Amino acid sequence: MSTPERLIESTRELLWERGYVGTSPKAVQQHAGAGQGSMYHHFPGGKPDLALAAIRRTAEEMRATAEAVLGDGASAYARIEAYLLRERDVLKGCPVGRLTMDPDVITNDELRAPVTETLDWLRERLAAIVEEGRAGGEFTATLDPPEIASAIVATVQGGYVLARSSGSPTAFDAAVRGLLALLAASRTTAAFPATSPN
């Protein structure tokens, strides 16, 4: 891994663990095994430039991970279910979602932009899947796709908070199961394959 890559990856990990304030240039250099001169050579703006590169990388990874399960061509419900049930390190929380609670990130327009764009993308992507399911008769016509998409994102992000506060992934799992039960109740009979009589 090149020095810039090591610096970005180290910053990503430290931002997730310590937040912006706790991610000092010295900590990044030590974690990456890079000298001060090397860091400023690759990121002349110092910590803000490096943090922005790290946040963008984290946001891109979150999109790619979500798209891997949301774009597989299965039914709308199956794709949402796969997104909600995919493997996560629940107790560490969401690396993008946690940035929304970091005042140094949220009050900085440049650092906040990739966070906002990623969460907006996720809501729009989920809303499009719900609309696809509604248009195809899989979900009832009364569902509001943007509202359901927001509920899905809120359940995941809130589930992380509940899990971290209790020190157990149980609360996250319960939130996901509850949302899936509500979503399943909105599926129409057309969503289920007909069964032949015995």
Confirm whether 143 is domain-assigned.
yes
pTM of the model: 0.89
Confirm whether 168 is domain-assigned.
yes
* Both tokens assigned to 137: 């008769």
What is the mean predicted confidence (pLDDT) over 126-142?
96
Dihedral pair phi/psi, residue 187, rounded to 5°? -80, 145
Confirm whether 14 is domain-assigned.
no
Judge contact between 143 and 186, C-beta under 8 A.
yes
What pLDDT does residue 157 have? 96
- Tell me the residue length of the chain: 198
Confirm whether 197 is domain-assigned.
no
139 forms bridges with which residues in the sheet?
187
Greatest pairwise CA separation for the chain in angstroms: 76
pLDDT at 196 over 60: no
DSSP-based three-state secondary structure for 72: coil
Q: Domain holding 94: CATH number?
A: 1.10.357.10
Among left, alpha and beta (phi > 0; psi -120 to 50; other), residue 19 is left
33-67 pLDDT, tens digit each: 998 888 889 999 989 999 999 999 999 999 999 99
139-191 pLDDT, tens digit each: 999 999 999 999 999 999 999 999 999 999 999 999 999 999 999 999 987 66
What pLDDT does residue 192 have? 58
- For residue 119, how many other CB atoms are within 10 A of its CB? 20
Residue labelled with tokens 């990130």: 105
Q: Mean pLDDT over all residues of the chain? A: 92
What pLDDT does residue 88 have? 92
The contacts of residue 190 (CB under 8 Å, 6+ apart) are 137, 138
pLDDT at 194 over 90: no
Report the alpha-carbon distance of residue 66 to residue 82 in Å, rounded: 9
- Band of pLDDT at residue 114, cut at 50, 70 and 90: very high
pLDDT at 198 over 80: no
For 93, the domain range is 57-190
pLDDT at 115 over 90: yes
Domains contained in the chain, number:
1
Confirm whether 100 is domain-assigned.
yes
Confirm whether 32 is domain-assigned.
no
| Type of residue at 112 | R
Judge contact between 129 and 143, C-beta under 8 A.
no
55-102 pLDDT, tens digit each: 999 999 999 999 999 998 889 999 999 999 999 999 999 999 999 999
